[in-house]
Structure 1
């Protein structure tokens, strides 16, 4: 979170600290989210996405620990706009005819996780986790509503990115799942006749199933971590504005551009090895056994 229109790191909000806006003081990030919950206790209609959205205020739970604070709840959401027949799988009979105004509302669990400040270091990043059910999820509509609400009510800009991008890309590059690398740069033709109407073009150089050097992988990961101060990529003495990676994941081909990495998201199954502990933790905290979650 940072103040709207701010350009410096000093304007980033400490998640565990207080924040004052319009003469109202909020204790911490969870106080801000409390206002968000109150605003969405009734189903809101997002006509652009054709989805309904609300928060079950009575489902909110907070777990305060020595190292962190976690808050969970239930989101009610569903889409509308299409007609369909609700059919009983056993009798094969249509039990209900769904029209365009009928929204298929489902319950999705979510969690907000914020570490406590350590040795005077203020925490400015937390974690959001959203449950998905089959092909249905609530990450996009939830984050959109959060960003809009925090901007209008608190004067804050909320920034999100997938927390698993760096680790995922690193594993991807080292497990031979990379199918294609495309290097992209702006290019001006040496032939002046080509520039009569367009003074710039785009050049793409694609490598199929490439084997990458360790030094190049390290440089790429530094860009993902934000440790590189450069906005361009220099490869073999040539300058590129963007790099596009295509890879196999869960049987599908996905493509990500590094300059658009902040909008990249992954759906991750809860690993089998955590299910023993997860059974205890999630059943106690959520009241459910984890299915699938999207990390933001």
Structure 2
């Protein structure tokens, strides 16, 4: 079974002056209502993008308002399941067990797959929210959804732009520092000195060689390196200054976390480009290789709400 993942991005809508608009008042309408109305009208109808040789449709569309125990509105959430796929190339479908040819797909036929996503916007005068996108193995819909949501916003006013960006690294890492278990610290060096190459019996000056030192079950690392890690996240300390070993030049420092049955390895070298991606394969109900929409919605809502709170958008 392919891994089911969720990736979370921050979202906002900007005008020609790069000002962020209040998401419940985009020319008198909320962002969620704009997308909901567009998706509802287009539901179950495939759109053919001949330039990209791809088809797309909305398969499920629903929205709700989440309230607290006192009945106060907390946030509005839009759930979507889209189906999309590419065509233009002939391919053969074979039985994975026997290798027998089952079917030949012609270039006009698209291999369509379902993907879920949700958009969450806190109630009140806020200019940012989050979008949670489901992936399956290496396949995802971040590019296609960003493009389409931008088109829907521009249909309201041509000067507007829908923006998706990575979650602030500090917000993302805090989730793992508080709720995750640090399983390993990985110190990586690309290429090795000639003396070491001789000892290892490998060719000298080969940059593709990777040397990795792994500290498993690093009890106390997060506690003892708290200040260094905070400074690294804040950009005031280099990743290769968090851990230093004589004679070993660190080209990357990676932390491997576990959250329940989920695993995530984070590179402190590329901390500004971290995307909030998580494996949720064990948290959803799988039917025919895909998560059911209802089980996926629950996990997307839980994930999105966490990031709203972590970003300070939800008290």
Global fold match (TM > 0.5): yes
Query: Which residue of 2 is the match for residue 269 of structure 1?
Result: 280
d(CA) in 2 for partners of 1:258, 1:291: 33
Residues 1:290 and 2:296 aligned together: yes
Q: Describe how 1:220-239 pairs up with structure 2 within 5 A.
A: 220-221=229-230, 224=233, 228=234, 233=238, 235=241
Q: Does 1:129 align with 2:132?
A: yes
In the alignment, the residues of structure 2 paired with residue 62 and residue 291 of structure 1 have an alpha-carbon distance, to the nearest angstrom, of 11
> CA shift at 1:215, angstroms?
6.7
Deviations 1:68-92 (A, max 9, x none): 2111122111134554322356886
Q: Distance in 1 between matches of 2:51 and 2:274?
A: 22
Pick closer, same or farther for the CA change 1:139–1:174 going to 2, 3 Å: same
> Pairwise CA RMSD of aligned residues?
4.8
Instruction: Report what 2:47 is aligned to.
Output: 43
Instruction: Tell me how far apart the structure 1 counterparts of residues 253 and 38 of structure 2 sit (CA, whole Å).
Output: 37
CA offsets, 1:181-235, max 9 Å, x none?
67xxxxxxxxxxxxxxxxxxxxxxx9844775747544544665xxx4x577494
Residue correspondence of structure 1 range 231-250 to structure 2 within 5 A: 233=238, 235=241, 244-246=252-254
Give the C-alpha shift of residue 2 in structure 1: 4.3
Higher relative contact order (CA 8 A, sep 6+): 2
Q: Whole-Å Cα distance in 2 between the matches of residues 47 and 245 of structure 1?
A: 42
1:82-114 deviation per Cα after TM superposition (whole angstroms, max 9, x unaligned): 543223568864331024443211222222222
CA distance in 1, matches of 2:50, 2:230: 37
Match of 1:64 in 2: 65
Deviation for aligned residue 1:173: 9.2
Whole-angstrom distance in 2 between the partners of 1:89 and 1:291: 31
Q: Does 1:155 align with 2:166?
A: no
SS at match of 2:23: coil
Task: Mark the runs of 5 or more structure 2 residues left unpaired by the alignment.
Answer: 1-11, 68-73, 190-210, 243-250, 286-290, 305-315
TM-score (norm 1): 0.57
What TM-score comes out, normalization by structure 2 length? 0.55
Q: Is structure 2 residue 112 aligned with structure 1 residue 105?
A: yes
Supply the distance in 1 between the matched residues of 2:273 and 2:145 (Cα, whole angstroms). Answer: 16
Is there any run of 5+ residues in structure 1 with no aligned partner, and where? 20-24, 183-205, 237-242, 276-281
